Chains A and B, each alone.
Chain A
């Protein structure tokens, strides 16, 4: 059986090599299956590629794609639920072997459509040296919103008008909705329902969360106002321009390699509770595939999500191990022991929730992104912006109710 699989690479690093290696191992183990694993750029490029292939009638059988593409893929009739493909009990058990939080984005309408693969959450990186300098306890990072503000104020260093070190930075380009998902969750509010046809953008708790974000810059002055660039944030952190940053766990390895100071990783702070959305890519199985191909695909996916490989993957990339048994492997256990920050993301999974994902996901997400950015740049108040975003989202989603 020939299998074609697309996978995107969203973090730096020699990822393609790792994937190629794992696929090779799989082929060795299953000589009858021939896998063609194709690197497909970033998540966006991969989506275009899959879509183009789909329309041409020449799609792949399986693919790693953005976990939040699920509704669109269902709507396009592009993917099949795993429930229809798995047969044995063993396989059904496998479906349940992942952290539930990571499955949230893969399940809807009572079925499982995506299997978590390269997944991450948001964590808070902080500069322990800066904490010490500001007289804060480096082993006790802020755990609530108020503490964050407080610590941030101490950490913000000014030289006249020029800020030499900011207290904290939360990136607001690239994936603002993702960061905001964390804030909203911490304020006790999810952004959408699990059917993907309703959003809660203008719920009071959501508005409060956005207000808090805006206040970090405008009121408390611990974060630059305007938007903060996702791509260069790590560099800012490494250069000591900010004492804390919220960023994907996917950065862990890079920060570890490049930081010239003592840094720590912490769970995101809480308001009403702790919270973070998960993120990243899931495995999907495409509808246009024969039963044998589907079976082979299941084999491949199972192989790639086996605990040992998940552990290897996690160590190599900084992505989460997707199930508890991955963390039970000796390699990962050892790694976490040597490098405790690696466990923070896992521990945080307890509080994690789904990433924003609905029907018409692209549009809905953009509505929220624009709303967030317009607030951060001071064009609108949180209530205005979110009300309007909610109204438009309702219009888009009412067809799906």
Chain B
């Protein structure tokens, strides 16, 4: 340490302090969720170091809805959406990144337009479509409207564009056709982007609520959030202990996965950088 720069050091410490403070604030809702989920409900709004710990809230939450089934549904839903998004977005992004065809920029503009359209607004129309193709109350039906993700197309296109053309040419000279090139060159090289986009997509669909509620009718298709909403309905007042316990149950897989793989996730984001 340079002795002459005490002032700078202090400034740096202050800044680090601010960074941790902000981190604490950002964590606060989660911290509170843990607090109130693990304590009896009379401590939900009172903080007492010696409050007794309990798992009752989890037991209660778990018993109020068939969470196990909902977990399975959500898991299937998220997997289907993710697979479909990967395939559809990959193909479209590849077209936008490396092919010339008439109407390309118009098509791309239209894709970007989708970013701006709120799916909530289209619920009624989409419900009609689903019922026409007989997919009301099916997990596929929940996923369909989200399968062509403009965000995914956009992100992958950017990534594909940064992949050196030489790699594609090398593969061409070795005898690869367009699909082989996509599969053997572009997809593996864009893996970080896939991980990044996957994270965003999974957390969105894991937590999506209104459309799944409207389009599903039975326990065998409903995702977790619908179960969660039973506690979330504040018509008769909020019971935070149960809500937070339910919330923790619902997001636990996500949280755990994120904790375990956070290094990989974050690194993927880094590589997927939007420039």
Contacts and interface: CB of A to CB of B under 8 A. Distances in A.
A232 B230 contact: no
B217 A52 contact: no
Interface stretch (A3-11, A142-150, A299-307, A372-380): A3-11
Given A12-B231, A49-B213, A51-B124, A235 B237 contact: yes
Q: Is the interface on chain B under 10, 10 to 19, 20 to 34, or 35 or more residues? A: 20 to 34
A261 to B, nearest CB: 11
A88 interface: no
Contact of B210 (A45, A233, A235): A45
Interface in A186-233: 230-233
A230 B234 contact: yes
Given A55-B128, A258-B42, A45 B238 contact: no
B207 interface: no
Contacts, number: 104
Nearest to A251: B236
B4 interface: no
Contacts of B45: 235, 239
B271 interface: no
B65 A16 contact: yes
A16 B222 CA distance: 14
B124 A49 contact: no
Contacts of B127: 52-53, 55-56
Contacts of A45: 210, 213-214, 229
Given A4-B217, A12-B231, A48-B123, A251 B64 contact: no
A316 to B, nearest CB: 13
B136 A56 contact: yes
Most chain B beta carbons < 10 A, residue from A39, A57, A231, A239: A39
Interface residues of A, number: 42
Contacts of A248: 235-236
Contact of A52 (B41, B123, B234): B123
Interface in B49-66: 63-65
Interface string A1-37: 0001000011110111100000000000000000010
A58 interface: yes
Contacts of A230: 234-235, 237
A238 B127 CA distance: 42
Contacts of A38: 217-218
A52 to B, nearest CB: 4
Given A58-B136, A239-B45, 7 more contacts: A15-B230, A48-B210, A49-B213, A49-B214, A52-B123, A234-B237, A258-B41
15 contacts: A10-B236, A12-B239, A16-B65, A17-B64, A39-B226, A42-B233, A42-B235, A45-B213, A52-B128, A52-B214, A53-B136, A56-B136, A57-B131, A174-B234, A251-B236
> Nearest 10 pairs between A and B by C-beta?
A231-B234, A234-B237, A56-B131, A52-B127, A11-B236, A10-B235, A56-B128, A58-B131, A42-B233, A38-B217
